[in-house]
Amino acid sequence: MTKKTMKWNGLTLEISAEPNALLSRLQGEEVTSLKVTSAASAKPLINDTFAASLIQTAGGAANFVDVMLSAELQQAA
């Protein structure tokens, strides 16, 4: 499991990414479990699985989270 801390829109986020072997076998492609938490929120901002190739294409978990949260922020506006 990899953990990283990043700043996003004034929030300190902790990002945990871990290969999910079971889902990878079931789906036939590499899958990563991604959990993003913030001390400012009682529940995780993201707690889901994604194709590992999507995360790698974004340049890693931190960049992937940045893109996802920025897209959600734009949709909410």
String of DSSP letters for the chain: -EEEEEEETTEEEEEEEEE-HHHHHHHTS-EEEEEEEETT-SS-SEEEEEEHHHHHHHTSHHHHHHHHHHHHHHHH-
Domain that holds residue 16: 2-76
The pLDDT assigned to 20 comes to 97
Mean pLDDT, the chain, whole residue set: 94
Per-residue pLDDT band at 1 (split at 50, 70, 90): confident
As for how many domains the chain has, the answer is: 1
Question: Band of the pLDDT at 68, cuts 50, 70, 90?
Answer: very high
